[in-house]
Amino acid sequence: MRPIVPLLASLLVTSCASGPRVPRAATGPTVNVDGVARTYRVHAPAGGDRTRPRPLLFVFHGAGSDAADIARGSGFDALADADPMLVVYPEARGGRFDLPQGVASSADVRFVDALLADLETRFAVDRRRVFATGFSNGAAFCYRLASERPDLLAAIAPVAGYLPPLGPLADRPPPPVPLLHVHGTADRRVAPPTIGGGPDDAIAAWARRNGATRGPMVGDVPGTAGLPVRRAAWAGATPRSDTVVWLVEGAEHTWPGGPAGPVSRGILDFFRTHPR
């Protein structure tokens, strides 16, 4: 049982597509952020008790991509229909979310604040179950959002991203935010973590900030429909300390397992067991 090596924060976080692309013109509801109209997509499952508070999932796309791409690639809409959940796909300005955290004020963090306020005028949101996932640049933004809004997020699940430098936030340990980090072992754009490493590991540091006192415990993940996944996990006195890495064998810089596949389902399973 050994730590995981540092994620390489110097690497460029790129698109979830196989190569760069130009985002389509965004359409959908908008909110005002610093005098700018920001666009997002929202999926609200039909049926059920509309007055009963529902979980809310933010899904952030990769650089050079858009909300429509990550909605298709992750398949969360279909999964949310089976277990009612609001799913929101924010659109980045210029195709990229703000990084790194702790350095400057972020219009994208304020975008999330405005989104939540807007959504709560139309839907019943369960504030104990607000989650975030994302791909590549959107995955790295999950870390920024969790660092700057730890009282908002119940848990995060970045996919194929890296943990940006924490900057001044490293001196202010926030409330714990459980983490499931997913990465393909064959990713050549953002270096994956490997099992075994030193005490300066970024994921292990997140685990310590979460209050984890045990780990990593290393093993295979069962029930992933033939997708080979290794797991490293840290734990503490409560589930709020949980910090987990899934390494998907042979996966490149993609959303492993495809739309509504074992990774997407595994992320939702992690979220269900980690309300705030």
Find the CATH number of the domain harbouring 183. Answer: 3.40.50.1820
The whole domain housing 153 covers 30-268
Establish if 24 belongs to a structural domain.
no
Q: Report the pLDDT value the prediction gives residue 45, as an integer from 0 to 100.
A: 83
Residue 251: partners with Cβ closer than 8 Å, 6 or more residues away: 183, 184, 185, 186, 187
Establish if 10 belongs to a structural domain.
no
Residue ranges of the chain whose pLDDT lies below 70: 1-28, 47-50, 100-104, 165-173, 194-200
Strands 54-60 and 86-90: parallel
**∠ Cα 78 39 53 (to 5°):** 50
**∠ Cα 24 147 205 (to 5°):** 115
Quick one: tokens of 56? 């809310």
Q: Report the pLDDT value the prediction gives residue 106, as an integer from 0 to 100.
A: 86
| Cis ω for the linkage preceding 228 (within 30 of 0) | no
Establish if 274 belongs to a structural domain.
no
Q: Report the pLDDT value the prediction gives residue 48, as an integer from 0 to 100.
A: 61
Q: Report the pLDDT value the prediction gives residue 4, as an integer from 0 to 100.
A: 36
Task: Write out pLDDT tens, residues 155-210.
Answer: 999 999 988 766 555 555 678 999 999 999 999 999 987 665 555 578 888 898 89
By residue count, the chain amounts to 276
Q: Please state, in angstroms and rounded to a whole number, the distance separating the CA atoms of residues 55 and 130.
A: 6
Establish if 12 belongs to a structural domain.
no
Residue 94: partners with Cβ closer than 8 Å, 6 or more residues away: none
Establish if 193 belongs to a structural domain.
yes
Q: Is the separation of the CB atoms in 169 and 147 below 8 Å?
A: yes
Q: Is the separation of the CB atoms in 48 and 92 below 8 Å?
A: no
Establish if 15 belongs to a structural domain.
no
Which helix H or strand E contains 24, and what residues bound it? none
> Is the pTM of the predicted complex or chain greater than 0.85?
yes
Q: Report the pLDDT value the prediction gives residue 179, as an integer from 0 to 100.
A: 96
Q: Please state, in angstroms and rounded to a whole number, the distance separating the CA atoms of residues 238 and 81.
A: 30
Establish if 5 belongs to a structural domain.
no
Question: What number of other Cβ atoms are within 10 A of residue 124's Cβ?
Answer: 13
Establish if 8 belongs to a structural domain.
no
